[in-house]
Amino acid sequence: MTTSKNRASGHAPLTRERVLRAAISHADTVGLEGLSMRGLAGVLKVAPMALYRHVANREDLIDAMIDVVFGEVVLPSGGADWKTAMRERGLSMRDVLTRHPWAIGLMESRRHPGQANLRHHDAVIGKLRSAGFDVAMVAHAYSLLDSYIYGFAMTQVRMAVETPADMTAMANDMFEPFPLNEYPNLAEFVNDHVMAAGYQYVDEYGYGLDRVLDAIERAWADSGS
Amino acid sequence: MTTSKNRASGHAPLTRERVLRAAISHADTVGLEGLSMRGLAGVLKVAPMALYRHVANREDLIDAMIDVVFGEVVLPSGGADWKTAMRERGLSMRDVLTRHPWAIGLMESRRHPGQANLRHHDAVIGKLRSAGFDVAMVAHAYSLLDSYIYGFAMTQVRMAVETPADMTAMANDMFEPFPLNEYPNLAEFVNDHVMAAGYQYVDEYGYGLDRVLDAIERAWADSGS
DNA sequence: ACCTGAACACCGTTCAAGT
DNA sequence: ACCTGAACACCGTTCAAGT
Protein backbone atom coordinates (compact mmCIF):
# COMPACT_ATOMS: atom_id res chain seq x y z
CA MET A 1 0.00 0.00 0.00
CA THR A 2 2.97 2.35 0.17
CA THR A 3 3.45 4.55 -2.84
CA SER A 4 7.13 4.99 -2.17
CA LYS A 5 9.25 2.31 -3.77
CA ASN A 6 12.64 3.24 -2.49
CA ARG A 7 12.26 2.04 1.07
CA ALA A 8 11.35 -1.51 1.98
CA SER A 9 10.23 -0.43 5.47
CA GLY A 10 7.54 1.85 4.09
CA HIS A 11 8.36 5.17 5.75
CA ALA A 12 9.41 8.19 3.78
CA PRO A 13 13.18 8.51 3.45
CA LEU A 14 14.87 10.52 6.13
CA THR A 15 15.76 14.02 4.98
CA ARG A 16 17.19 17.04 6.76
CA GLU A 17 13.80 18.73 6.46
CA ARG A 18 12.01 15.80 8.06
CA VAL A 19 14.54 15.70 10.88
CA LEU A 20 14.20 19.46 11.43
CA ARG A 21 10.42 19.46 11.43
CA ALA A 22 10.26 16.56 13.87
CA ALA A 23 12.91 18.15 16.11
CA ILE A 24 11.03 21.45 16.29
CA SER A 25 7.64 19.98 17.04
CA HIS A 26 9.17 17.62 19.57
CA ALA A 27 11.01 20.49 21.28
CA ASP A 28 7.76 22.51 21.26
CA THR A 29 6.20 19.85 23.47
CA VAL A 30 9.09 18.50 25.57
CA GLY A 31 11.48 21.46 25.66
CA LEU A 32 15.12 21.64 24.70
CA GLU A 33 16.36 19.49 27.57
CA GLY A 34 13.75 16.89 26.61
CA LEU A 35 15.01 16.81 23.03
CA SER A 36 17.56 14.02 22.90
CA MET A 37 19.05 12.57 19.76
CA ARG A 38 17.84 9.17 20.88
CA GLY A 39 14.34 10.41 21.64
CA LEU A 40 14.14 12.23 18.30
CA ALA A 41 15.27 9.08 16.52
CA GLY A 42 12.50 7.23 18.32
CA VAL A 43 9.87 9.72 17.09
CA LEU A 44 11.16 9.24 13.54
CA LYS A 45 11.38 5.46 14.01
CA VAL A 46 15.02 5.22 13.01
CA ALA A 47 18.15 4.25 14.88
CA PRO A 48 19.81 7.18 16.70
CA MET A 49 22.77 7.11 14.33
CA ALA A 50 20.59 7.62 11.27
CA LEU A 51 20.19 11.26 12.30
CA TYR A 52 23.90 11.87 11.94
CA ARG A 53 23.73 11.56 8.19
CA HIS A 54 21.59 14.74 8.12
CA VAL A 55 22.99 16.81 10.97
CA ALA A 56 26.59 16.99 12.12
CA ASN A 57 25.67 16.80 15.81
CA ARG A 58 23.16 18.15 18.33
CA GLU A 59 24.56 21.71 18.14
CA ASP A 60 24.26 21.74 14.36
CA LEU A 61 20.68 20.51 14.66
CA ILE A 62 19.87 23.35 17.07
CA ASP A 63 21.53 25.90 14.76
CA ALA A 64 19.25 24.73 11.95
CA MET A 65 16.16 24.71 14.17
CA ILE A 66 16.82 28.32 15.21
CA ASP A 67 17.02 29.39 11.59
CA VAL A 68 13.59 27.87 10.93
CA VAL A 69 12.29 29.90 13.89
CA PHE A 70 13.84 33.11 12.51
CA GLY A 71 12.06 32.38 9.25
CA GLU A 72 8.71 32.53 11.06
CA VAL A 73 9.23 36.11 12.27
CA VAL A 74 7.72 38.77 9.97
CA LEU A 75 10.17 41.05 8.22
CA PRO A 76 9.56 44.80 8.48
CA SER A 77 7.18 45.80 5.70
CA GLY A 78 8.37 48.43 3.28
CA GLY A 79 5.44 50.78 3.60
CA ALA A 80 5.14 51.40 7.32
CA ASP A 81 7.11 53.93 9.35
CA TRP A 82 9.93 52.58 11.52
CA LYS A 83 7.97 52.64 14.76
CA THR A 84 5.03 50.70 13.33
CA ALA A 85 7.38 48.24 11.67
CA MET A 86 9.36 47.68 14.89
CA ARG A 87 6.14 47.27 16.86
CA GLU A 88 4.94 44.62 14.42
CA ARG A 89 8.27 42.87 14.62
CA GLY A 90 8.13 42.89 18.40
CA LEU A 91 4.63 41.40 18.46
CA SER A 92 5.54 38.79 15.84
CA MET A 93 8.66 37.84 17.77
CA ARG A 94 6.62 37.31 20.91
CA ASP A 95 4.16 35.08 19.03
CA VAL A 96 6.96 33.02 17.53
CA LEU A 97 8.81 32.66 20.84
CA THR A 98 5.60 31.63 22.58
CA ARG A 99 5.17 28.85 20.02
CA HIS A 100 8.81 27.80 20.38
CA PRO A 101 9.78 28.60 23.97
CA TRP A 102 12.93 26.46 23.78
CA ALA A 103 14.30 28.97 21.24
CA ILE A 104 14.49 31.90 23.69
CA GLY A 105 18.07 32.33 24.76
CA LEU A 106 19.41 30.71 21.61
CA MET A 107 18.23 33.29 19.08
CA GLU A 108 20.97 35.86 19.71
CA SER A 109 23.84 33.54 20.37
CA ARG A 110 24.36 31.40 17.28
CA ARG A 111 27.95 31.37 16.10
CA HIS A 112 26.76 29.87 12.84
CA PRO A 113 23.70 31.94 11.92
CA GLY A 114 21.59 30.71 9.05
CA GLN A 115 20.22 32.69 6.15
CA ALA A 116 16.87 33.54 7.76
CA ASN A 117 18.75 34.90 10.78
CA LEU A 118 21.00 37.14 8.64
CA ARG A 119 18.11 38.22 6.41
CA HIS A 120 16.12 39.20 9.49
CA HIS A 121 18.91 41.33 10.96
CA ASP A 122 19.60 42.90 7.57
CA ALA A 123 15.96 43.86 7.18
CA VAL A 124 15.62 45.38 10.65
CA ILE A 125 18.82 47.39 10.31
CA GLY A 126 17.77 48.47 6.81
CA LYS A 127 14.41 49.71 8.06
CA LEU A 128 16.01 51.84 10.77
CA ARG A 129 18.74 53.16 8.47
CA SER A 130 16.27 54.19 5.77
CA ALA A 131 14.20 55.98 8.43
CA GLY A 132 17.30 58.10 9.01
CA PHE A 133 18.92 56.44 12.07
CA ASP A 134 22.71 56.63 12.01
CA VAL A 135 24.61 53.43 12.82
CA ALA A 136 25.17 54.36 16.47
CA MET A 137 21.46 54.96 16.95
CA VAL A 138 20.68 51.67 15.22
CA ALA A 139 22.92 49.91 17.74
CA HIS A 140 21.21 51.63 20.68
CA ALA A 141 17.74 50.89 19.36
CA TYR A 142 18.43 47.29 18.43
CA SER A 143 20.06 46.50 21.75
CA LEU A 144 17.19 48.07 23.68
CA LEU A 145 14.48 46.37 21.66
CA ASP A 146 15.96 42.89 21.66
CA SER A 147 16.99 43.00 25.31
CA TYR A 148 13.39 43.88 26.16
CA ILE A 149 11.83 41.38 23.76
CA TYR A 150 13.98 38.40 24.73
CA GLY A 151 13.96 39.32 28.42
CA PHE A 152 10.18 39.54 28.53
CA ALA A 153 9.73 36.32 26.57
CA MET A 154 12.10 34.52 28.89
CA THR A 155 10.31 35.74 32.00
CA GLN A 156 6.88 34.94 30.64
CA VAL A 157 7.77 31.47 29.49
CA ARG A 158 9.72 30.54 32.60
CA MET A 159 6.90 31.66 34.87
CA ALA A 160 4.68 29.28 32.93
CA VAL A 161 1.62 31.07 34.26
CA GLU A 162 -1.22 31.36 31.80
CA THR A 163 -4.46 31.74 33.71
CA PRO A 164 -5.27 33.77 36.84
CA ALA A 165 -5.80 30.39 38.57
CA ASP A 166 -2.21 29.39 37.67
CA MET A 167 -1.07 32.69 39.15
CA THR A 168 -2.94 32.10 42.40
CA ALA A 169 -1.56 28.58 42.66
CA MET A 170 1.96 29.80 42.01
CA ALA A 171 1.73 32.60 44.52
CA ASN A 172 0.41 30.23 47.18
CA ASP A 173 3.17 27.73 46.44
CA MET A 174 5.82 30.39 46.56
CA PHE A 175 4.83 32.12 49.76
CA GLU A 176 3.57 29.13 51.67
CA PRO A 177 6.87 28.45 53.49
CA PHE A 178 7.28 32.07 54.64
CA PRO A 179 5.53 34.43 57.02
CA LEU A 180 4.06 36.94 54.61
CA ASN A 181 4.27 39.83 57.04
CA GLU A 182 8.04 39.75 56.65
CA TYR A 183 7.49 40.96 53.09
CA PRO A 184 4.71 43.54 53.37
CA ASN A 185 5.36 45.32 50.08
CA LEU A 186 5.51 42.07 48.14
CA ALA A 187 2.38 40.80 49.89
CA GLU A 188 0.43 43.96 49.08
CA PHE A 189 1.63 43.92 45.48
CA VAL A 190 0.67 40.31 44.92
CA ASN A 191 -2.67 40.45 46.72
CA ASP A 192 -3.91 43.83 45.52
CA HIS A 193 -2.60 43.76 41.96
CA VAL A 194 -1.10 40.58 40.54
CA MET A 195 -3.89 38.38 41.86
CA ALA A 196 -6.65 40.96 41.30
CA ALA A 197 -9.34 40.23 38.72
CA GLY A 198 -8.31 41.15 35.21
CA TYR A 199 -4.54 41.23 35.73
CA GLN A 200 -2.51 39.14 33.31
CA TYR A 201 1.23 39.38 33.12
CA VAL A 202 1.16 38.95 29.37
CA ASP A 203 -0.59 42.33 29.05
CA GLU A 204 2.58 44.04 30.24
CA TYR A 205 4.29 43.11 26.99
CA GLY A 206 2.58 45.59 24.69
CA TYR A 207 2.73 48.34 27.31
CA GLY A 208 6.47 47.90 27.77
CA LEU A 209 7.15 47.57 24.06
CA ASP A 210 5.44 50.91 23.43
CA ARG A 211 7.44 52.53 26.24
CA VAL A 212 10.68 51.23 24.70
CA LEU A 213 9.67 52.50 21.25
CA ASP A 214 8.77 55.92 22.70
CA ALA A 215 12.12 56.00 24.51
CA ILE A 216 13.97 55.29 21.27
CA GLU A 217 12.02 57.97 19.39
CA ARG A 218 12.80 60.53 22.10
CA ALA A 219 16.47 59.58 22.31
CA TRP A 220 16.77 59.92 18.56
CA ALA A 221 15.09 63.34 18.60
CA ASP A 222 17.36 64.48 21.44
CA SER A 223 20.44 63.35 19.54
CA GLY A 224 19.54 65.93 16.88
CA SER A 225 17.90 63.49 14.39
CA MET B 1 48.18 16.70 61.17
CA THR B 2 44.43 17.26 60.86
CA THR B 3 42.89 19.38 63.56
CA SER B 4 39.43 17.95 63.00
CA LYS B 5 38.82 14.82 65.00
CA ASN B 6 35.44 13.84 63.72
CA ARG B 7 36.51 12.61 60.29
CA ALA B 8 39.09 9.95 59.79
CA SER B 9 39.62 11.04 56.16
CA GLY B 10 40.77 14.49 57.19
CA HIS B 11 38.50 16.76 55.15
CA ALA B 12 35.99 19.08 56.72
CA PRO B 13 32.55 17.50 57.14
CA LEU B 14 30.17 18.05 54.28
CA THR B 15 27.62 20.75 54.99
CA ARG B 16 24.93 22.41 52.88
CA GLU B 17 27.03 25.59 52.82
CA ARG B 18 30.11 23.76 51.58
CA VAL B 19 28.06 22.02 48.88
CA LEU B 20 26.51 25.34 47.82
CA ARG B 21 29.78 27.23 47.68
CA ALA B 22 31.44 24.48 45.64
CA ALA B 23 28.44 24.24 43.31
CA ILE B 24 28.43 27.99 42.62
CA SER B 25 32.14 28.30 41.97
CA HIS B 26 32.07 25.17 39.83
CA ALA B 27 29.11 26.51 37.80
CA ASP B 28 30.94 29.85 37.44
CA THR B 29 33.68 28.05 35.56
CA VAL B 30 31.93 25.18 33.75
CA GLY B 31 28.38 26.52 33.35
CA LEU B 32 25.10 24.99 34.41
CA GLU B 33 25.20 22.15 31.90
CA GLY B 34 28.72 21.35 33.10
CA LEU B 35 27.55 21.13 36.70
CA SER B 36 26.72 17.48 37.30
CA MET B 37 26.03 15.92 40.66
CA ARG B 38 28.81 13.45 39.94
CA GLY B 39 31.26 16.18 38.93
CA LEU B 40 30.39 18.27 41.97
CA ALA B 41 30.91 15.24 44.20
CA GLY B 42 34.31 14.80 42.56
CA VAL B 43 35.29 18.39 43.36
CA LEU B 44 34.28 17.81 46.98
CA LYS B 45 35.99 14.40 47.02
CA VAL B 46 32.93 12.51 48.19
CA ALA B 47 30.76 9.88 46.57
CA PRO B 48 27.93 11.33 44.44
CA MET B 49 25.30 10.12 46.89
CA ALA B 50 26.84 12.03 49.79
CA LEU B 51 25.40 15.23 48.27
CA TYR B 52 21.87 13.96 48.68
CA ARG B 53 22.06 14.28 52.43
CA HIS B 54 22.33 18.07 52.00
CA VAL B 55 20.17 18.77 48.94
CA ALA B 56 17.00 16.98 47.90
CA ASN B 57 18.03 16.78 44.24
CA ARG B 58 19.62 18.86 41.48
CA GLU B 59 16.64 21.25 41.24
CA ASP B 60 16.75 21.91 44.97
CA LEU B 61 20.48 22.59 44.70
CA ILE B 62 19.85 25.12 41.93
CA ASP B 63 17.07 26.80 43.93
CA ALA B 64 19.52 27.29 46.78
CA MET B 65 22.31 28.51 44.46
CA ILE B 66 19.97 31.15 42.98
CA ASP B 67 19.14 32.45 46.42
CA VAL B 68 22.83 32.94 47.16
CA VAL B 69 23.06 34.93 43.91
CA PHE B 70 20.08 37.10 44.91
CA GLY B 71 21.87 37.78 48.17
CA GLU B 72 24.76 39.34 46.23
CA VAL B 73 22.57 41.99 44.58
CA VAL B 74 22.50 45.33 46.43
CA LEU B 75 19.17 46.29 47.96
CA PRO B 76 17.83 49.78 47.18
CA SER B 77 19.30 52.16 49.71
CA GLY B 78 16.88 54.18 51.81
CA GLY B 79 18.28 57.59 51.07
CA ALA B 80 18.36 57.77 47.27
CA ASP B 81 15.46 58.70 45.00
CA TRP B 82 13.76 55.85 43.15
CA LYS B 83 15.56 56.45 39.86
CA THR B 84 19.02 56.44 41.42
CA ALA B 85 18.14 53.38 43.47
CA MET B 86 16.83 51.50 40.42
CA ARG B 87 19.89 52.48 38.42
CA GLU B 88 22.15 51.13 41.16
CA ARG B 89 20.13 47.93 41.32
CA GLY B 90 20.39 47.52 37.55
CA LEU B 91 24.16 47.98 37.57
CA SER B 92 24.59 45.64 40.54
CA MET B 93 22.40 43.02 38.87
CA ARG B 94 24.57 43.14 35.76
CA ASP B 95 27.74 42.72 37.83
CA VAL B 96 26.28 39.77 39.70
CA LEU B 97 24.97 38.09 36.53
CA THR B 98 28.34 38.57 34.85
CA ARG B 99 29.98 36.75 37.75
CA HIS B 100 27.36 33.99 37.65
CA PRO B 101 26.27 33.71 34.00
CA TRP B 102 24.57 30.36 34.62
CA ALA B 103 22.05 32.15 36.84
CA ILE B 104 20.52 34.23 34.02
CA GLY B 105 17.24 32.67 33.03
CA LEU B 106 16.77 31.06 36.41
CA MET B 107 16.40 34.20 38.53
CA GLU B 108 12.78 34.94 37.65
CA SER B 109 11.49 31.43 37.40
CA ARG B 110 11.97 29.80 40.78
CA ARG B 111 8.82 28.12 42.08
CA HIS B 112 10.50 27.86 45.48
CA PRO B 113 12.08 31.28 46.00
CA GLY B 114 14.43 31.66 48.93
CA GLN B 115 14.53 34.42 51.50
CA ALA B 116 17.07 36.58 49.66
CA ASN B 117 14.87 36.44 46.56
CA LEU B 118 11.74 37.52 48.46
CA ARG B 119 13.62 40.17 50.42
CA HIS B 120 14.98 41.58 47.16
CA HIS B 121 11.56 41.85 45.52
CA ASP B 122 10.05 43.28 48.68
CA ALA B 123 12.72 45.99 48.83
CA VAL B 124 12.39 46.98 45.16
CA ILE B 125 8.60 47.17 45.36
CA GLY B 126 8.85 49.06 48.64
CA LYS B 127 11.19 51.64 47.11
CA LEU B 128 8.85 52.32 44.20
CA ARG B 129 5.74 52.41 46.41
CA SER B 130 7.28 54.86 48.82
CA ALA B 131 8.27 57.07 45.89
CA GLY B 132 4.55 57.27 45.14
CA PHE B 133 4.08 54.64 42.41
CA ASP B 134 0.71 52.93 42.57
CA VAL B 135 0.67 49.14 42.27
CA ALA B 136 -0.15 49.17 38.54
CA MET B 137 2.79 51.48 37.85
CA VAL B 138 5.04 49.27 39.99
CA ALA B 139 4.05 46.29 37.81
CA HIS B 140 4.79 48.23 34.61
CA ALA B 141 8.13 49.50 35.88
CA TYR B 142 9.28 46.20 37.32
CA SER B 143 8.38 44.27 34.18
CA LEU B 144 10.16 46.77 31.94
CA LEU B 145 13.29 46.93 34.08
CA ASP B 146 13.72 43.22 34.61
CA SER B 147 12.91 42.32 31.01
CA TYR B 148 15.60 44.73 29.92
CA ILE B 149 18.12 43.69 32.58
CA TYR B 150 17.77 39.94 32.10
CA GLY B 151 17.47 40.24 28.32
CA PHE B 152 20.64 42.29 28.05
CA ALA B 153 22.56 40.02 30.40
CA MET B 154 21.47 36.98 28.43
CA THR B 155 22.54 38.51 25.12
CA GLN B 156 25.86 39.72 26.46
CA VAL B 157 26.78 36.44 28.08
CA ARG B 158 25.64 34.26 25.21
CA MET B 159 27.61 36.32 22.70
CA ALA B 160 30.66 35.65 24.87
CA VAL B 161 32.47 38.52 23.21
CA GLU B 162 34.70 40.51 25.50
CA THR B 163 37.38 42.18 23.44
CA PRO B 164 37.21 43.90 20.03
CA ALA B 165 39.39 41.03 18.75
CA ASP B 166 36.77 38.53 19.89
CA MET B 167 34.18 40.59 18.03
CA THR B 168 36.20 40.57 14.82
CA ALA B 169 36.78 36.84 15.09
CA MET B 170 33.09 36.21 15.72
CA ALA B 171 31.99 38.40 12.82
CA ASN B 172 34.39 36.66 10.45
CA ASP B 173 33.22 33.24 11.63
CA MET B 174 29.60 34.20 11.25
CA PHE B 175 29.72 35.74 7.81
CA GLU B 176 32.35 33.54 6.27
CA PRO B 177 29.89 31.07 4.67
CA PHE B 178 27.79 33.84 3.09
CA PRO B 179 28.22 36.42 0.35
CA LEU B 180 28.18 39.64 2.34
CA ASN B 181 26.64 41.68 -0.45
CA GLU B 182 23.41 39.78 0.09
CA TYR B 183 23.13 41.57 3.43
CA PRO B 184 24.30 45.13 2.70
CA ASN B 185 22.72 46.78 5.75
CA LEU B 186 24.12 44.18 8.10
CA ALA B 187 27.54 44.41 6.44
CA GLU B 188 27.64 48.18 6.76
CA PHE B 189 26.49 48.04 10.37
CA VAL B 190 29.08 45.48 11.37
CA ASN B 191 31.97 47.04 9.45
CA ASP B 192 31.34 50.71 10.15
CA HIS B 193 30.11 50.48 13.71
CA VAL B 194 30.33 47.19 15.61
CA MET B 195 33.89 46.51 14.51
CA ALA B 196 34.98 50.14 14.61
CA ALA B 197 37.58 51.22 17.15
CA GLY B 198 36.12 51.94 20.55
CA TYR B 199 32.83 50.09 20.15
CA GLN B 200 32.02 47.62 22.90
CA TYR B 201 28.64 46.00 23.18
CA VAL B 202 28.79 46.14 26.96
CA ASP B 203 28.62 49.95 26.78
CA GLU B 204 25.06 49.70 25.47
CA TYR B 205 23.93 48.49 28.88
CA GLY B 206 24.09 51.77 30.77
CA TYR B 207 22.68 53.70 27.82
CA GLY B 208 19.67 51.42 27.55
CA LEU B 209 19.11 51.28 31.30
CA ASP B 210 18.94 55.08 31.41
CA ARG B 211 16.47 55.11 28.48
CA VAL B 212 14.26 52.59 30.29
CA LEU B 213 14.38 54.64 33.51
CA ASP B 214 13.52 57.81 31.58
CA ALA B 215 10.64 56.00 29.90
CA ILE B 216 9.27 54.89 33.28
CA GLU B 217 9.57 58.41 34.70
CA ARG B 218 7.73 59.85 31.72
CA ALA B 219 5.01 57.18 31.74
CA TRP B 220 4.45 57.83 35.43
CA ALA B 221 4.21 61.58 34.88
CA ASP B 222 1.78 61.07 31.99
CA SER B 223 -0.43 58.83 34.13
CA GLY B 224 -1.01 61.85 36.41
CA SER B 225 1.53 60.91 39.12
C1' DA C 1 24.12 5.07 -0.31
C1' DC C 2 21.88 4.79 3.68
C1' DC C 3 20.94 2.76 7.98
C1' DT C 4 22.09 -0.16 12.19
C1' DG C 5 24.29 -2.29 16.62
C1' DA C 6 27.56 -2.47 19.89
C1' DA C 7 30.44 0.13 22.62
C1' DC C 8 32.42 4.14 25.38
C1' DA C 9 32.22 7.53 28.57
C1' DC C 10 28.99 9.96 30.59
C1' DC C 11 24.20 11.51 33.32
C1' DG C 12 20.49 11.77 37.96
C1' DT C 13 18.70 9.02 41.26
C1' DT C 14 17.07 4.67 44.11
C1' DC C 15 18.10 1.23 47.19
C1' DA C 16 20.62 -1.60 50.22
C1' DA C 17 24.72 -1.77 52.60
C1' DG C 18 28.75 -0.35 55.24
C1' DT C 19 31.16 2.04 59.44
C1' DA D 1 24.63 9.56 61.69
C1' DC D 2 26.85 9.94 57.72
C1' DC D 3 28.88 8.11 53.70
C1' DT D 4 29.49 4.49 49.93
C1' DG D 5 28.82 0.99 45.90
C1' DA D 6 26.17 -1.23 42.83
C1' DA D 7 22.49 -0.78 39.85
C1' DC D 8 18.87 1.30 36.66
C1' DA D 9 17.44 3.89 33.05
C1' DC D 10 19.10 7.32 30.61
C1' DC D 11 22.60 10.66 27.53
C1' DG D 12 25.85 12.12 22.76
C1' DT D 13 28.87 10.22 19.80
C1' DT D 14 32.55 6.94 17.49
C1' DC D 15 33.49 3.08 14.93
C1' DA D 16 32.81 -1.00 12.37
C1' DA D 17 29.42 -3.48 10.19
C1' DG D 18 25.31 -4.62 7.58
C1' DT D 19 22.11 -4.33 3.20
- Tell me what the pLDDT averaged over chain B comes to: 91
- Specify the pLDDT at position B129: 97
Sort B205 into a burial class: Cβ within 10 Å, 0-12 / 13-18 / 19+: buried
Q: What is the structure's pLDDT at B225?
A: 56
Q: Once rounded to an integer, what is the mean pLDDT over residues B179-183?
A: 84
Is the pLDDT score of A127 beyond 70?
yes
HSE of B114, CA atoms in CB hemisphere, 13 A: 15
Q: Evaluate whether B199 touches B112 at the Cβ level (below 8 Å).
A: no
Q: What is the pLDDT of residues A183-195, one digit of tens each?
A: 999 999 999 999 8
Does position A2 have pLDDT exceeding 60, yes or no?
Answer: no
**Residue B174 burial by Cβ neighbours in a 10 Å radius (0-12, 13-18, 19+):** middle
Distance CA B23, CA B29 (A): 10
Share of chain B above pLDDT 90, in %: 76
Q: Out of B108, B175, B207, whose CB is closest to A155?
A: B108
Structure confidence by residue, pLDDT tens digits, A141-180 = 999 999 999 999 999 988 877 777 888 888 888 877 777 7
Averaged pLDDT for residues A7-34: 86
Query: Does residue B167 or residue B116 have the better pLDDT?
Result: B116
**Average pLDDT of the segment spanning B187-199:** 91
pLDDT confidence of residue B30: 96
Q: What is the mean pLDDT of residues A30-55?
A: 97
pTM, rounded to two decimals: 0.93
- Lookup: nucleotide whose C1' is closest to A51 CA: C3
| Closest by Cα among A102, A108, A97, A106 to A72 | A97
Asked if residue B223 has pLDDT above 80, the reply is yes
Q: Which residues of A touch B183 (CB under 8 A)?
A: 118-119, 121-122
Determine which of B112, B144, B172 to mutate to test the interface with A (most A C-beta atoms within 10 Å).
B144
Average pLDDT value for residue range A77-95: 95
Q: What is the pLDDT of residues B66-99, one digit of tens each?
A: 999 999 999 998 889 999 999 999 999 999 999 9
Q: Shortest CB distance from A158 goes to which of B108, B140, B207?
A: B108
Q: What domains are defined for chain A?
A: 2-55 (1.10.10.60), 68-159+207-223 (1.10.357.10), 161-194 (no CATH)
pLDDT for B7 equals 39
